[in-house]
Amino acid sequence: MFDLTPEIIALLGVASVIAGFIDAIAGGGGLISLPALLSVGLNPVAAIATNKVQGSVGTASALWNFWRKGRVDFRLIRWPLALVAVGSGLGAFAVTLVDTRWLMILLPVLLIGIALYFLLGPKAADEDAAARLTPLAYAFVAGGIGFYDGFFGPGTGSFFALSLVMLLGMGLTRATAHTKALNLMSNVVGIVVLAVGGHVVWVLAGIMAVGQFIGGRLGSHAAMRFGPRLIRPLLVVISLAMTARLLSDPANPLRAMIAGWLGL
């Protein structure tokens, strides 16, 4: 159990502001907030549950700001939102039934692929392009990402942003704005499942929610002001940082596989 000292409050407050800022722009704020929660003595399940609650506040803050500036069309994504909710609920239920170790092998590969796409692929501009799928067809892709978020989670924002750019033809800033709506829906459903199980530490979630709100507003302003000049490099950095974070764990099965191939 942790002692809620002024130092802990300051640590979590600063961490949540930074995480909210980064998350509003490119996703991946959990790289900062989740280790901060673990550092104060929470067990991993409680840390993940609490992180979802406080992270949702930052996402909602960023979404509100994007929506006020006319960057979010809820009618366009009404079907994706519905299937994200279904997918996230099913994913949160499925995680209690199956082994997630194989995802630890697949996820770093996917994140490296996202980083390479934004680094080397066609330049993602702020102008919309021709959509490859209708919103209804895209809803099934979004539902799959929602299932992944409920089941596991890291990198969800990057997956939504990439799919919106590639499949719905959105410019990068507009894709970032709509990512917040989809991610918030997924998080809220996951929170309900985890809260019913009693895993959320509400006092810490409340402390960090304040910082997330501030960081989310600042990050969304920065994203709208600087557009792809800021979003594109941050998506690359965050994807690679999440990959490094995952592979830094000695228990990661992909790391063990690579070490075996190299005879280490």
DSSP, res 121: S
Rounded to the nearest integer, the mean pLDDT of the chain is 84
- Per the CB < 8 A criterion, the answer to whether 28 and 115 are in contact is no
- Per the CB < 8 A criterion, the answer to whether 163 and 113 are in contact is no
CA distances to 3, 77, 247 from 183, rounded to whole Å, are: 32, 12, 24
The residue type of 21 is F
Is the pLDDT reported for residue 112 higher than 90?
no
Structure tokens at 27: 């996703």
- Per the CB < 8 A criterion, the answer to whether 161 and 175 are in contact is yes
* Predicted pLDDT of residue 135: 95
With CA atoms as reference, report the closest residue to 201 among 46, 73, 66: 46
Alpha helix stretches (DSSP H) within the chain: 6-26, 30-39, 44-68, 78-94, 101-120, 135-151, 156-167, 172-196, 202-226, 228-247, 253-262
CA distance 206 to 165: 34
CA distance 96 to 82: 23
CA distance 189 to 191: 5
Range in 161-165, 181-185, 213-217, 248-252 the model is least confident about? 248-252
SS3 99: coil
pLDDT in tens, 189-231: 988 988 887 888 899 999 999 999 999 899 899 988 887 777 7
Structure tokens at 201: 């530490």
CA distance 114 to 99: 25
**Predicted model pTM:** 0.78
The CB density around residue 51, as the number of other CB atoms within 10 Å, is 27
User: In sequence order, which residues have a C-beta less than 8 Å from that of residue 78 and are 6 or more positions away?
Assistant: 135
pLDDT in tens, 131-169: 899 999 999 999 999 998 887 776 788 889 889 999 999
Q: In 136-165, which positions are buried (b, 16+ CB within 10 angstroms) versus exposed (e)?
A: eebbebbbbbbbbbbbbbbbbbbbbbbbbb
CA dihedral 251, 89, 77, 19 (to 10 degrees): -40
CA distances to 2, 36, 65 from 56, rounded to whole Å, are: 23, 16, 14
